Amino acid sequence: MATRNAYGDALRALGVRPDVVALDGEVSDSTRADRFAEAHADRYFEMFISEQQLVAAAVGLQVRGYRPFASTFAAFLSRAYDFVRMAGISGADIALSGSHAGVEIGADGPSQMGLEDLAAMRAVQGSTVLYPSDAVSCAALVVEMVDRRGVNYLRTTRGGHPVLYDNDEAFPVGGSKLLRGGADDRVALIGAGVTVHNCLAAAEALAGEGITARVIDAYSVKPLDAGRVREAVRDTGGRLVVVEDHYPEGGLGSAVLESLADLAEPVRVRHLAVRGLPTSGTPTQLMDQAGIGVGDIVAAARTLA
């Protein structure tokens, strides 16, 4: 199930609260905000292709006591960045959802791929940045955002991916999940969103070579679970592979490295990210082309282990 579908379902369910409203920039059939619109038409606002107005209206609605969720493609939120920045400065409490992020969207091409959004949203004063890997974590994080202060950003993906968690699993902001690991791990694979699934597949392949790999789902990019990262450093002898469907600047890799800045222990990090201009193709083709596919993770882990 795609996390964008889980976003739409969770938002529709939250509509039982009369203070929850939704806004979208004329892509609600893609972001899945249309599911809220179908159930709660009187509290859905179509802002059309006007992303600055989308964020401005969300800020205005929260001033009036509502809990706004505003959604569009992650790439298109760049058009409204000044308004997002000012929302942070103003202390506004809003939830933003950016869908169709990364090269994972495949055939839509680079103009539609949000590859700078994690960096941009992390830089906003007081922001929260969340990137779920499956439907269960996405739905739980939507609920986490509804009453959270400040600018809250949720990154969702276009394609469907396996469900990893049970429905009763908790996903507190600032946390992470250890999906695979033990006392004899030789390397830690840290991903978020779609790359978590690549990390799991890579860990399975590495196990066949006799290399035990820990897999961490860093669903909370800001605040990051620094304790989990430092634990991985200590347990693996400082061997980390960080994988993200994002440009290398300012995203998950930066968050991980910042968390280790004052750690007085040796660390070896391989950072896999999208370093060139993507083209158009299948998700697997584009992730392999970008160097964040399963084979790339296996190769990076081998150089450390």
pLDDT, tens only, 13-26: 999 999 999 999 99
Regarding whether 82 and 147 lie in a shared domain, the answer is: yes
Regarding whether 129 and 252 lie in a shared domain, the answer is: no
Regarding whether 141 and 225 lie in a shared domain, the answer is: no
Cα separation, 300 vs 206, in Å, equals 11
Which of 155, 188, 219 finishes a domain?
A: 155
* Structural domain span for residue 265: 177-304
Q: What is the pLDDT of residue 301?
A: 98
Is residue 163 one of the residues assigned to a domain?
Answer: no
CB atoms within 10 A of CB 88: 17
Mean pLDDT (whole number) for 46-66: 98
Regarding whether 205 and 67 lie in a shared domain, the answer is: no
Total domain count for the chain? 2
Is residue 162 one of the residues assigned to a domain?
Answer: no
State the pairing for strand pair 220-222/128-130: antiparallel
Q: What is the pTM of this model?
A: 0.97
Which of 155, 187, 219 finishes a domain?
A: 155
CA distances in angstroms from 78 to 12, 65, 111, listed in the order given: 26, 26, 12
Q: What is the pLDDT of residue 245?
A: 98
Q: What is the pLDDT of residue 111?
A: 94
For residue 265, what pLDDT band results from cuts at 50, 70 and 90?
confident
Is residue 115 one of the residues assigned to a domain?
Answer: yes
Q: Which of 163, 76, 75, 91 lies closest to 127 in space, CA to CA?
A: 91
Looking at the predicted structure, is the pLDDT value of residue 305 above 90?
no
- What's the chain's average pLDDT? 97
Looking at the predicted structure, is the pLDDT value of residue 160 above 90?
yes
pLDDT digits (tens, 9 = 90+) for 70-113: 999 999 999 999 999 999 999 999 999 999 999 999 988 999 99
Mean pLDDT (whole number) for 116-139: 98
In terms of C-beta density within 10 A (0-12 exposed, 13-18 middle, 19 or more buried), how is residue 150 classed?
Answer: middle
Which of 155, 187, 221 finishes a domain?
A: 155
For residue 264, what pLDDT band results from cuts at 50, 70 and 90?
confident
Is residue 166 one of the residues assigned to a domain?
Answer: no
Q: What is the pLDDT of residue 147?
A: 97
Catalytic residue (choose from 26, 38, 46, 51):
51
Task: Tell me the H-state helices in the chain.
Answer: 3-14, 28-31, 34-39, 51-63, 81-90, 117-122, 135-146, 194-207, 226-236, 252-259, 283-290, 294-304
Is residue 82 one of the residues assigned to a domain?
Answer: yes
Look at the block and give the residue holding tokens 């968690």.
165
Confirm whether 51 is a catalytic residue.
yes
Mean pLDDT (whole number) for 48-68: 98
Q: What is the pLDDT of residue 269?
A: 97
Mean pLDDT (whole number) for 134-151: 98
| CATH number of the domain bearing residue 230 | 3.40.50.920
Q: What is the pLDDT of residue 222?
A: 98
Looking at the predicted structure, is the pLDDT value of residue 115 above 90?
yes
Mean pLDDT (whole number) for 161-175: 97
Cα separation, 136 vs 162, in Å, equals 10
Mean pLDDT (whole number) for 37-41: 98
In percent, the amount of the chain with pLDDT more than 90 equals 97
Regarding whether 149 and 39 lie in a shared domain, the answer is: yes
Cα separation, 40 vs 299, in Å, equals 49
